[in-house]
Structure 1
Amino acid sequence: MSKILIITAPSGSGKSTIVKEVLKQFPQIKFSISACTRNPRGAEQDGVDYYFMSVADFEHKIQKDAFVEWEMVYEGKYYGTLKSELERIWKADEVPLFDIDVQGAVNVKKRYREQALSIFIQAPSIDELQKRLISRGTDPMDAIEERIAKAATELTFAPHFDHTVVNDTLEHAVVAVTRLIANFLHT
């Protein structure tokens, strides 16, 4: 049985930083690159961080049933995981790690059940989440406010996941997540 790892969180909870640490510690785990219709941020690269595509291309792939999961996360902004991406990773006898939004994570967990380990990363508070998003310096204030509003809703989904890890300090969160993953991979 091919295994899948799912890590999700409201934006700004530290998910991407934790994922980078996990990838360093487990060479058999490979980052599952999501597709999206938003513009690259900072130094993000197509085919490395995301598969950046137009809305028309994304919608064409939806029609062709090319996604494991997909979602319009924000108005006009699609995100999803291509079936070809999972096949690429499994073909190399590796374990895909999904770093995806909360709704997408719920859908993947429902689809793969025991085959998947799902971990919800949570910031200690909404206030801390807002501070983290502002300190990133990558988004305008209206986008940050939209993310905060969405985060409040996303927090209600935590019970749908196998485990919740509160990222109060990065070091503790990384230890907790790597322990959960090590146990899952060895079962």
Structure 2
Amino acid sequence: MSLRRADMIQGIRRGLAVILSSPSGAGKSTLARRLMVWDESLSFSVSATTRPPREGEAEGVDYYFRSRDEFGKMILDGEMLEHAEVFGNHYGSPRAPVEAALSAGRDVIFDIDWQGGQQIRNSSLGRDVVSIFILPPSIAELERRLRERGQDSDDVIAGRMAKSEAEISHWAEYDYVLVNDDVDACEARLRTILTAERLRRDRQPWLTDFTRALGAEFRERERR
């Protein structure tokens, strides 16, 4: 293999399953969107849900909206990588589009809770996972962000806050943990993590052939 082909083979790798988790309001969805603007090759794992669509949400873009019966059938048929019930609604990640993207070398971002992250880490895709937990700078700031986005009633916000302590308790299960005290700085750290993970030796299968080519060049020089 000619060294001149290095630029052709460096892109050959399996994609990453990038799991972003946080308590509701800590900023994982915002950060996921920012990452996809930074690198347009990133895919987003669109979740299926039984909750009704909110104003402005589109089928197949924000979520796959399914009835409870349809959702249950997807689970029974093995079509979900992970699933969980959150605040009375079911959420899950369809398997087929994720596996297709990873096989094609595209990284996929998951915006999911700790339960979903745990299921994916324990699935057949476990070797592809990079998991990142996002913490709020304080509980007071977490509540402020929930209220500021204006999507939920006081009762729903109270439920989200009550659940946050349990969610945060799972931080140590993740590969990386970031405090989202400044969204720009947090995004920069996420970019660094993603870049480093893409460059890990075991994620670059092309290196084996490349180093063999280097060895062949040495042997060719010795024969001259």
Q: With the length of structure 2 as denominator, give the TM-score of the two structures.
A: 0.79
Whether 1:26 aligns to 2:29 is no
Structure with bigger strand share is 1
Match of 1:110 in 2: 122
Alpha-carbon contact 1:106-1:161 (below 8 Å) kept? no
Q: Of the two, which has the highest radius of gyration?
A: 2
Alpha-carbon contact 2:82-2:92 (below 8 Å) kept? yes
CA RMSD of superposed structures (Å): 1.4
Alpha-carbon contact 1:41-1:138 (below 8 Å) kept? no
Aligned residue pair count: 186
Question: For residues 37-86 of structure 1, what are the alpha-carbon distances to aligned partners after superposition, in whole Å with 9 as ceiling and x for unaligned?
Answer: 112223221100111111111011111111111111222x1010111221
Task: Please point out which of 106, 112, 127 is paired with 1:94.
Answer: 106
Offset of residue 2 of structure 1 = 3.9
Which structure 1 residue ranges, 4+ long, deviate > 6 Å from structure 2?
none
User: In 1, Cα distance between the equivalents of 2:40 and 2:61?
Assistant: 17
User: In 2, Cα distance between the equivalents of 1:120 and 1:108?
Assistant: 15
**Structure 2 residue runs without a partner (length 5+):** 1-13, 201-224
Whether 1:144 aligns to 2:157 is yes
**Structure 1 residue runs without a partner (length 5+):** none
Match of 1:57 in 2: 70
User: In 2, Cα distance between the equivalents of 1:160 and 1:93?
Assistant: 26
Match of 2:221 in 1: none
2:110 counterpart letter in structure 1: F
Alpha-carbon contact 1:33-1:85 (below 8 Å) kept? no
Task: Please point out which of 27, 30, 42 is paired with 1:17.
Answer: 30
Match of 1:177 in 2: 190
Alpha-carbon contact 2:81-2:94 (below 8 Å) kept? yes
Match of 1:127 in 2: 140
User: In 2, Cα distance between the equivalents of 1:41 and 1:163?
Assistant: 32
Alpha-carbon contact 2:49-2:65 (below 8 Å) kept? yes
Question: For residues 27-46 of structure 1, what are the alpha-carbon distances to aligned partners after superposition, in whole Å with 9 as ceiling and x for unaligned?
Answer: 22100111111122232211
State the percentage of identical aligned residues.
Answer: 33
Offset of residue 12 of structure 1 = 0.4
Offset of residue 96 of structure 1 = 1.2
User: In 2, Cα distance between the equivalents of 1:161 and 1:142?
Assistant: 30
Alpha-carbon contact 2:47-2:94 (below 8 Å) kept? yes
User: In 2, Cα distance between the equivalents of 1:133 and 1:98?
Assistant: 21
User: In 1, Cα distance between the equivalents of 2:133 and 2:38?
Assistant: 19
Q: With the length of structure 1 as denominator, give the TM-score of the two structures.
A: 0.94
